[in-house]
Structure 1
Amino acid sequence: MNPFEIKPDMKSGLFIDWEKFWVAPYNKNEVNPYTRTRIILMNGTEFENVWFSHQFSRNSADNELRRRIAFIRRSEQQQQKILAHLKPEDESALEHTIGYEQLAVDLTAHLAKRVDDADIKGALDFALLEDFDHLYRYSDYLEATSGEHAEKLVGGYTEIMPGRPTISHHRHPYDSIRHSMKGKCSSTMDILAANVITAAEQQTMNYYMNTAALWPDEMGRRLYQEIGMVEEQHVTQYGSLLDPCMTWLENLLVHQYVECWLYWSCYETECDLRIRRLWNFMFELELKHLHIARDLLRQYEKKDWNQVIPNAQFPSPLVLESNIEYVRCILKNTVNNTAKRENYVDVRYDAPDTFIEYQRKVNEPLKNVMSHAFIEEYIRKNGKDYRFEVAPNPVPELRDRTMDNVCVGRQPLCGNRNMI
């Protein structure tokens, strides 16, 4: 499918009334985990488009162009509000967090398996192990505070066990920048992947940033605060992959194209018939946005869409599904990696000075690193941590359920200490 070859019904307009705004939420006890994660993904995608549109408008002096951008943005805001309210009121923020991290794991793994560009794949595989570890730590916090087992929320599709320990994620900002797509003949899938993951991680960063301030106890606030800082690193990393030489209007076209592909993917893979109809409605709106963006590009820059996206035929749909074996493989082979400028190195043999200095600055004393202090407290109370594993952890140092490892991924800082 090429969305530029589909003529949307522009006569029906973009705006809806208040009654259509109130789409019934899903039932948290019955929803498929990947229906939940698709909703989170598309909420984040709409958020990215809205804020990109605001930045575009603030950097343009042409009021007529700004009106056209505002026209699209109002429709995007409607879509975002509908998606946000699909979350039911009885689903706690922490339960919803499990959905965020399951999305991060399985979306990242899926995209990593499909991209062509080595820089994009490297960034995806690197951050994958960090979101995987976040899922484990939030899951233990959920069990500790509510007795609920996150394996039910993830449907048994995603394992819950330590990845690269969260304490090892804290790196100097200089080491979060990657090679961009500037000057590359990027495939359509590479363009899609870089934009999709940037929006998804940005949504997670914002969610944790806001949740931390609203959380009722200090331990939870500090946990969201710490992991939210890691998500900022991920957004910086993924955002640096994008092509910085695109014009605002070219970027607008790409944003709308990405949304079309995602809504089409959601429609093609959704198991809930009611939500599937919603994805189709959203796709039809995005077609209108895409064609408006195409016309603006032609009007203001005298460019055709195929000068920006030479091959606009949709790749096969994005599929959110179990990636257990892929995650295990990446965990086994790269758990000790850290970033060194645009590259990745094994910290045991080539620890960057920036990494060592930043770790010492933010992580000492270790008792203040909440992602690990909490797990240690959990183990003291329960004798072992909470996990959902289909087999022992592929990293031997992470198999002991009675101790929380703070050395993997940061060995030069540990000496003889493996634990808090």
Structure 2
Amino acid sequence: MAFDPLQERGIPLDEQLRDWRELNVTPIDPDHADPYTRCRIITMNGIESEAIQFSHQLARHCTDMELKRQLARVRHIEAQQQKAVNWLLPGVSSVLETTIAYEQVAVDLTAWVARMEPDPYLTKAYEFGVLEDFDHLYRYANLYEMIEHRKAEKIVDQLTEVMPGRPTYLQHRDPVDNVREPYDRHHTEPLSKLHALTVMATEQQTMNFYMNVGPLAMEPIARRLYQEIAMVEEEHVTHYESLVDPGESWWEMLLNHEYNECYLYHSFMETESEPRVKAVWELHLNMEIEHLRLASELFKRFDGRDPDQVLAPELPPPVTFEPNKAYLRDLLATQIDWTTLGTGYVQEAHERFSRMQEAVMGGDKPASEQVIDDNRAVSGREYRLETEGPHPAGLQLGR
């Protein structure tokens, strides 16, 4: 049945505050929970983190004290939501296990968005990025086997394949070539705006996660690999954030953020298999409906438009975590040799790409390649998880 959060009644803001016991939720059991439950948790942590950071930026550009206070009240609840969501992750999981789960999110969420995206230009941006995260999953899975002597299939549960994507060392590009053309806010479909916000937020959270946990690793190869991939994630954030039309006002951006939170909480409430986690999604949805109402009032006041003029009349079909194996294999077979040039894509190494490669490599073998060699030496072969058919052959830039 169609669900329009603008027509629903949420929990009043002054009833949303929770005490410490309510926020200290019981984490999921990593040995028995659906891997996609963990993916939904990681996704919503990224979405809530983006909501908080955006609200802070808006407050820093706002001169009206009463508006600052309203933003602070809502932001405090968003911060509580972020804590409750992120604390669902199990403390018994190692940082590297959580890293592999982060990359499973990047692969299957971005692949799903690419499949559902109505704008071909935006689809290309997601397809380009997902082949790089696919390779990150493969590199971290080999590091995991080498250091912790465990296999990534325990984490991804064979829902996501683990094999080489576009080689990570070929993902280091001139910064100017990471900037894409934005969608046109006047003509793009509301679903495209939600997709762009979602992927941007999750990639941003991945970047932040690697920036913070990378130096905590003890093994030199792990520290180097986190550092290398963290730099690629910075490229990805630039890639995805540039898709958003910068002509949107602060109030339209706030409206889109709140609507997207409603969309994702509703999606995950509809698709969640773990009852206790589903209850969190439902509670947060009812909170976000009120946040959306408040953002709608600000939008009407400062933009002079009705929210229905920019938002979808009802929530789109749910965002779904599901295997994307055939889709990804097709991309591997047809798009693995692409890189960027300006705001477009090319299949050959151009001057800026080659110059950047020389600059960042410094004559040394990159960690993303070294980790495969090291795991072969320890385990007798590299780690892969292929569940069907042969690995598709593809060209590789610079080889």
TM-score per shorter chain, which class? over 0.9
Residue 78 of structure 2 aligns with which residue? 76
The alpha-carbon distance between structure 1 residues 178 and 393, as it changes in their structure 2 partners (threshold 3 A), is farther
Which deviates more, 287-296 or 209-218? 209-218
1-structure distance, mates of 2:198, 2:118: 15
Residue 410 of structure 1 aligns with which residue? 397
The answer to whether the Cα contact below 8 Å between 1:105 and 1:132 also exists between their aligned partners in 2 is yes
Q: Which amino acid aligns with 1:298?
A: K
Residue 418 of structure 1 aligns with which residue? none
Q: Which amino acid aligns with 1:211?
A: V
The answer to whether the Cα contact below 8 Å between 1:3 and 1:312 also exists between their aligned partners in 2 is no
Which deviates more, 14-23 or 324-333? 14-23
2-structure distance, mates of 1:100, 1:323: 16
1-structure distance, mates of 2:177, 2:149: 38
Residue 380 of structure 1 aligns with which residue? 377
Residue 87 of structure 2 aligns with which residue? 85
TM-score normalized with structure 1 length: 0.92
| Cα drift, residue 302 of structure 1 | 2.7
Residue correspondence of structure 1 range 200-349 to structure 2 within 5 A: 200-309=202-311, 311-347=312-348
Which deviates more, 358-367 or 142-151? 358-367
Query: In the alignment, which of 361, 382, 385 is matched to residue 359 of structure 2?
Result: 361
The answer to whether the Cα contact below 8 Å between 2:146 and 2:379 also exists between their aligned partners in 1 is no
The answer to whether the Cα contact below 8 Å between 1:107 and 1:320 also exists between their aligned partners in 2 is yes
Residue 180 of structure 1 aligns with which residue? 182
Query: In the alignment, which of 184, 191, 199 is matched to residue 189 of structure 1?
Result: 191
2-structure distance, mates of 1:241, 1:78: 29
The answer to whether the Cα contact below 8 Å between 2:333 and 2:393 also exists between their aligned partners in 1 is no
Unaligned runs of at least 5 residues, structure 1: 398-407, 415-420
Q: Which amino acid aligns with 2:140?
A: Y
1-structure distance, mates of 2:259, 2:396: 38
The answer to whether the Cα contact below 8 Å between 1:182 and 1:244 also exists between their aligned partners in 2 is no
2-structure distance, mates of 1:23, 1:89: 12
The answer to whether the Cα contact below 8 Å between 1:338 and 1:409 also exists between their aligned partners in 2 is no
Residue 7 of structure 2 aligns with which residue? 5
The answer to whether the Cα contact below 8 Å between 2:267 and 2:318 also exists between their aligned partners in 1 is yes
1-structure distance, mates of 2:330, 2:362: 31
Residue 147 of structure 1 aligns with which residue? 149
| Cα drift, residue 146 of structure 1 | 1.1
The answer to whether the Cα contact below 8 Å between 2:146 and 2:378 also exists between their aligned partners in 1 is no
| Cα drift, residue 201 of structure 1 | 0.3
TM-score normalized with structure 2 length: 0.97
Residue correspondence of structure 1 range 150-161 to structure 2 within 5 A: 150-161=152-163
Query: Deviation per CA, 1:368-409, whole angstroms, max 9, x where unpaired?
Result: x10111211222333320111024554336xxxxxxxxxx53
Query: In the alignment, which of 368, 371, 389 is matched to residue 368 of structure 2?
Result: 371
The answer to whether the Cα contact below 8 Å between 1:119 and 1:178 also exists between their aligned partners in 2 is no
Query: Which SS does the other structure have where 2:345 is aligned?
Result: strand
Give percent identity, aligned residues only. 40
2-structure distance, mates of 1:325, 1:172: 31
Query: Deviation per CA, 1:28-65, whole angstroms, max 9, x where unpaired?
Result: 11111000000000000000000000000001111111
The answer to whether the Cα contact below 8 Å between 2:110 and 2:130 also exists between their aligned partners in 1 is yes
| Cα drift, residue 344 of structure 1 | 1.0
The answer to whether the Cα contact below 8 Å between 2:144 and 2:152 also exists between their aligned partners in 1 is yes
1-structure distance, mates of 2:383, 2:185: 47
2-structure distance, mates of 1:184, 1:336: 34
Query: Deviation per CA, 1:293-350, whole angstroms, max 9, x where unpaired?
Result: 11122233332212322x2311100000100000000010000000111111112xxx
Which deviates more, 217-226 or 3-12? 3-12
Residue 112 of structure 1 aligns with which residue? 114
1-structure distance, mates of 2:4, 2:25: 29
| Cα drift, residue 183 of structure 1 | 5.0
The answer to whether the Cα contact below 8 Å between 2:185 and 2:248 also exists between their aligned partners in 1 is no
Q: Answer 1 or 2: higher relative contact order, Cα 8 Å, separation at least 6.
A: 2
2-structure distance, mates of 1:177, 1:158: 29
Q: Which amino acid aligns with 1:345?
A: V
